[in-house]
Amino acid sequence: MRKFALIAVGLLVFSIQANAQNEWNGTYLFEEDGGKNAGGSAIFISHELSIFDNGDGLAATFRSNGYQTSTDLICSVKIHGPKIMIHFESYGDDNMFEPYKAGDLLLTLERKIEKGKTTILTHWGKFTPAIPKNAKSGKVYFERTATTNQ
Q: What is the pLDDT of residues 1-41, one digit of tens each?
A: 666 555 544 444 443 444 455 799 999 999 999 999 999 99
Question: Structural domain of residue 8, as residue ranges?
Answer: 2-146
pTM for this prediction: 0.82
Residues with Cβ within 8 Å of 59's Cβ and at least 6 positions away in sequence, in order, are 51, 52, 53, 74, 75, 76, 77
Cβ pair 44, 57 in contact under 8 A? no
Max distance between CA atoms of the chain, in angstroms, equals 75
For residues 76 and 24, what is the distance between their CA atoms, to the nearest angstrom? 13
The count of domains in the chain is: 1
What are 41-68's pLDDT values in tens digits? 999 999 999 999 999 899 999 999 999 9
pLDDT at 149 over 60: no
Mean pLDDT for 64-76 is 96
